[in-house]
Structure 1
């Protein structure tokens, strides 16, 4: 839907968080977005990835004055009947991993390159038209357009570390950089702390306060992101995938995956294997 606030808002809408994922895309400069602790001035090509739990700031009637943009909000099961239960799907579907980034820093801000911006507008308008007209087959068309949007988001979200640096979170950027480089290896809290030159206790409290998760949880999450990708797009044995993402014990990998996703890696692959669709 097109973005904007009604004239009567004027700060009446308090800071709030959604329990579903969403995107906001801006095709031109103009307006501000209040997210987390920040007020961000909108620039052409800005794409905000809003995860469940991300705090959006108090809205004012003139926040989006002059803005040109659209919002796409959806339940995780909008991706189809084979998606695991909605309470898990936004964390487990291979196209939804950009929405797992910790709500304390606010919505993830990505930048659509100039050459791709017309294509983004076309995709969003096609989705909007299908929802408005509701012609025969519109549900399948909406799902297809949404998948294309999420593929685009996934490609743009590769540089999470760069986003953290842009948003004045240099310590988090360093931590995520270490995790990104070393997650396939044995990696502990102490080793991450040594790499960023602070004590393990200080690192633990800082990362938990700013992201709501521990360093070890972020290491595990990064490993799970790669595991989900490999399960979805390859036929590698589950044990080999576990070893590639830092679990040298196949049984421990399977138990960890099952605890986080509510199903075994093999069952998750049956739901989500992209080569078989």
Structure 2
């Protein structure tokens, strides 16, 4: 039985037999696995993760979610304020949340995933609950009990091994293990309350939540601003400042995420998918998809369903 223990000095280690595992896909910038993941062809990444500090006060923003269980060291992070993540902690980064690392020697298990991989069955939104609560103001660092750490580490290690495989059924197995990770996080956060945050950061997060909910409908900056009770200029400025992207770019990302889900998981024609993700003109959809992914929807579908991770 695998055990995760935190020893004096904040070092986490495993006890018990470790089965042989396939080589994990690299998360290093420029690696083929990271490129495939960021373009949506690889919907889930999992593996060992090392936190590298970025120069100056640089921050990162991405359209996918990240969960990290720190097993060794600590990291000074900027995420809804300054915080320290230590061995045994779990750091949750929702899509669109600005974050950055300062001094760091942290390492651990990491999972990154595109929310569309969860599909529509069983309430994908509810499984994202812990991450969505961070978006609403809950603290992004969880401090699980030892049994919770053990379970989470096991699910993440098995998920990393599954993602690295290219065997029949590996994608469904990976999705099932991801659900177990999210269920464990839900249990950790069940009794956690919210925290206050700067009004501008709250506005940015509210804008992203509204966009995610309504992106498949006709949607514009003016509509987002009206729903939030602010001017278009104010919402545009805050979202751009906090995330590095425009409201229009986030609308496009949410639509492309749903398009990828349908391309990967259904046999719907491209023109049908275009209509369902908010495009009346299939040519415009194909042009937008190609601008984001570098290939047409049909070519992306062929590569994504060709048997790779």
TM-score by length of 1: 0.58
The aligned residue for residue 16 of structure 2 is none
- Post-superposition offset of 1:269: 0.4
Secondary structure in 1 aligned to 2:108? Answer: strand
Following TM superposition, by how much is the alpha carbon of 1:188 offset from its aligned partner in structure 2, in angstroms?
A: 0.7
Trace 1:166-245 onto structure 2 (pairs within 5 A). Answer: 168=197, 169-245=201-277
Q: How many corresponding residue pairs?
A: 221
Confirm or deny: 8 A CA contact 1:123 1:149 kept in the other structure: no
Q: Report the secondary structure of 2:69's partner residue.
A: strand
Selected match of 2:302 from 251, 270, 273: 270
C-alpha distance in 2 between matches for 1:18 and 1:71: 21
Deviation at 1:126, TM superposition (A): 5.6
Counterpart of 2:78 in structure 1 is 35
Match of 1:56 among 101, 110, 133: 101
Structure with higher helix content: 1
Alignment of 1:9-158 (within 5 A): 15-16=54-55, 24-26=68-70, 33-36=76-79, 37-40=81-84, 46-49=90-93, 55-59=100-104, 70-72=108-110, 109=140, 118-125=150-157, 140=165, 148=174, 152=178, 156=182
Deviations 1:222-258 (A, max 9, x none): 1111111111000011111111111111111110000
Partners in 2 of 1:247 and 1:232 — Cα distance? Answer: 19
| Structure 2 gaps, min length 5 | 12-51, 119-127, 129-138, 187-193
| Matches of 2:181 and 2:149, distance apart in 1 | 14
* CA displacement 1:134-178 (0-9 Å, x = unmatched): xxxxx648xx69x83896189849x9xxxxx86833212221222
Give the stretch that moved more between structures: 263-272 or 118-127.
118-127
Q: Distance in 1 between matches of 2:222 and 2:208?
A: 14
In the alignment, structure 1 segments of 5+ residues that lack a partner are: 7-12, 75-89, 99-107, 131-138, 160-164
| Normalised TM-score (structure 2) | 0.53
- CA deviations 1:91-138 (Å, max 9, x no partner) are 9x959xx9xxxxxxxxx948699897544322445689x8xxxxxxxx
Query: How far off is 1:204 after superposition?
Result: 1.1
> Residue 219 of structure 2: SS of its match in structure 1?
coil
Residues 47, 274 of structure 1: alpha-carbon distance in 2 compared, 3 angstrom cutoff: farther
